[in-house]
């Protein structure tokens, strides 16, 4: 019709400069086009404020120098410093572009395992928009003006005071699982940013020393339409806590994670 006002909120990508560093990488899969990495706890994905070096991006550039031609050394998505598990890296511009498109179209299935405080009665879906916290800029929160965020979760096992859950992401907002579980009143255990201090202290007495959130599997179609599926086992400390730190499950015996 003409005369309409169009308002854009541009978010330019921050320029990141990183140098190659010999950092050990747990490579789950690698070919000429892509890599799947099992990120350990404590490893920051790419350089930023307070983390100028020693990141996954530095390690990737040392592993494959040609990645310096790609945005963020080919890294497709991120995991928090405290979160372990699978990350995808495109090794060529074609592969990187294809993976970014698959992620945007929600065709990359990402599944996490986590332990939250309290006993959930069943699974469900959390559909709440997430945006930057209005006061604490290091936190995210459910905000009416936030970006759409959808999290699906199912109960794996119920314990006396905790629930072991499987989580599937429909979107990938910053801190999405941590914010959404907090919103429903069951924050993740040992979550120093979004959790409950008393509950964190009790979980610490049971043997857990860090956030229990692990990106366990990723699946997506390759360019021929065949599904690629990668999994990463729990780190020993998380596995020990699940096996021995918690009390006997209320309803079912624990099944070994693939």
CATH topology agreement for domains 22-105 and 109-258: yes
Angstrom distance (rounded) from CA 243 to CA 95: 39
Q: Is the pLDDT of residue 189 over 70?
A: yes
Say if residue 249's pLDDT is above 80. Answer: no
Q: How many CB atoms lie within 10 A of CB 170?
A: 15
| Topology, domain 22-105 | Pseudouridine synthase (3.30.2350)
Q: Please determine, for residue 59, whether its predicted confidence score (pLDDT) is greater than 90.
A: yes
Q: Which of 31, 32, 68, 80 is catalytic?
A: 80
Is 80 an active-site residue?
Answer: yes
Burial class of 42 by CB neighbour count within 10 A (0 to 12, 13 to 18, 19+): exposed
Q: Output the pLDDT for position 17.
A: 72
Q: What are φ and ψ of residue 107, in 5° steps?
A: -105, 5
Rounded to two decimals, the pTM is 0.86
Phi-psi region of 185 (alpha: psi -120 to 50; beta: other; left: phi over 0): left
- Residue 180 and residue 188: Cα distance in Å, rounded? 10
d(CA 206, CA 37): 29
Residue range 109-258 in CATH 1.10.3720.10: no
Listed ranges 9-13, 96-100, 134-138; the one with the highest mean pLDDT: 96-100
Mean pLDDT in residue range 71-77: 95
* pLDDT for residue 64 is more than 50: yes
Instruction: Compute the distance between CA of residue 45 and CA of residue 51 in angstroms, rounded to an integer.
Output: 10
The average pLDDT across 13-40 equals 89
- The residue ranges of every structural domain in the chain are 22-105, 109-258
Per-residue confidence band for 258, with pLDDT thresholds at 50, 70 and 90: very low
Which pair of structure tokens corresponds to residue 209?
């020393």
């Amino acid at each position: 019709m003409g005369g309409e006002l169009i308002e854009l909120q541009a978010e330019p990508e921050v320029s990141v400069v990183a140098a190659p560093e010999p950092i050990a990488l747990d490579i789950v899969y690698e070919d000429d086009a892509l890599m799947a990495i099992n990120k350990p706890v404590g490893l920051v994905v790419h350089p930023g404020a307070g983390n100028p070096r020693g990141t996954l991006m530095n390690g990737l550039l040392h592993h494959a120098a040609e990645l310096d031609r790609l945005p963020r050394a080919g890294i497709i998505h991120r995991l928090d410093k405290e979160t372990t598990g699978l990350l995808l890296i495109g090794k060529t511009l074609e592969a990187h572009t294809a993976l970014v498109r698959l992620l945007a179209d929600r065709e990359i299935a990402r599944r996490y395992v986590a332990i939250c405080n309290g006993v959930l009665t069943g699974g469900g879906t959390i559909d709440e928009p997430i945006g930057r916290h209005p006061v604490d800029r290091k936190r995210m929160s459910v905000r009416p003006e936030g970006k759409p965020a959808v999290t699906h979760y199912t109960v794996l096992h119920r314990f006396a005071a905790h629930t072991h859950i499987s989580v599937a992401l429909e979107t990938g907002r910053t801190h999405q699982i941590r914010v959404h579980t907090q919103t429903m009143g069951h924050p993740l255990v040992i979550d120093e940013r979004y959790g409950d201090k008393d509950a964190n202290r009790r979980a610490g007495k049971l043997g857990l020393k860090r956030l229990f959130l692990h990106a366990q599997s990723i699946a997506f179609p390759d360019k021929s339409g065949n599904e690629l599926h990668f999994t990463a086992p729990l780190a020993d400390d998380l596995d020990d806590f699940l096996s021995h730190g918690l009390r006997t499950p209320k309803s079912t015996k624990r099944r070994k994670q693939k």
